Chains A and B, each alone.
Chain A
Amino acid sequence: SQTIHQWPATLVQPVGSPLSLECTVEGTSNPNLYWYRQAAGRGLQLLFYSVGIGQISSEVPQNLSASRPQDRQFILSSKKLLLSDSGFYLCAWSAQGLSNQPQHFGDGTRLSIL
């Protein structure tokens, strides 16, 4: 069966420090991959998605970037974190093919910027 792993579960970083959150998927090939930010009372906001290695689409302008160095690996990064980057970040995957495939979510990373 397919599984998705996200780490770390929680992270506390100072303003101006770099960031790297990792997400990996097992049990499937060539998945679509997604990064979301979840804010209380505001649902999930799609940040990035990828339909293949090296293919990244950005949904909102921000201080973050994403990369997909391997088929089942998706990384969320920043060179210099801002206070406004605090939040709960979720990675998700869906099967390739039809665009209506449901997405499957990881456990998330709680990021606090001090």
Chain B
Amino acid sequence: AQSVSQHNHHVILSEAASLELGCNYSYGGTVNLFWYVQYPGQHLQLLLKYFSGDPLVKGIKGFEAEFIKSKFSFNLRKPSVQWSDTAEYFCAVNVGDYKLSFGAGTTVTVRA
């Protein structure tokens, strides 16, 4: 079965700093990739997704992610974070069977 690794458990940064969250997966075939976000007290929401085409995908709220097939990675980035980006972020992988495998999540705390 495929696995998903998120390297950072907790990231703390100041407003306007740049953010990059790492995500690696273990599966050699075609994958569909997702980043979900869970703001405090809210449900999980889709941030962005990659199915095919341009490996640099843009999502909501200024986030983007780059699929690097050779590195089995799908890292999430934001050039300048805001206090409202404080949340837990989950990377997820689908290999064409309706199921999602999630990483353990990264808690991001943005200090004002």
Contacts and interface: CB of A to CB of B under 8 A. Distances in A.
The prevalent SS among residues of A at the interface is: strand
A41 B44 contact: no
A97 to B, nearest CB: 10
Contacts of B42: 107
A41 B43 CA distance: 17
A42 B98 CA distance: 21
Given A43-B103, A49-B99, A99-B96, A105 B44 contact: yes
Interface of B: 4, 6, 9, 32, 34, 36, 42-46, 49, 51, 90, 92, 94, 96-105
A46 B1 CA distance: 13
Interface residues of A, number: 22
A63 interface: no
A90 interface: yes
Interface of A: 32, 41-46, 49, 51, 59, 90, 92, 94, 99-100, 102-108
Contacts of A51: 98
B100 A46 contact: yes
Contacts of A45: 102
B51 to A, nearest CB: 5
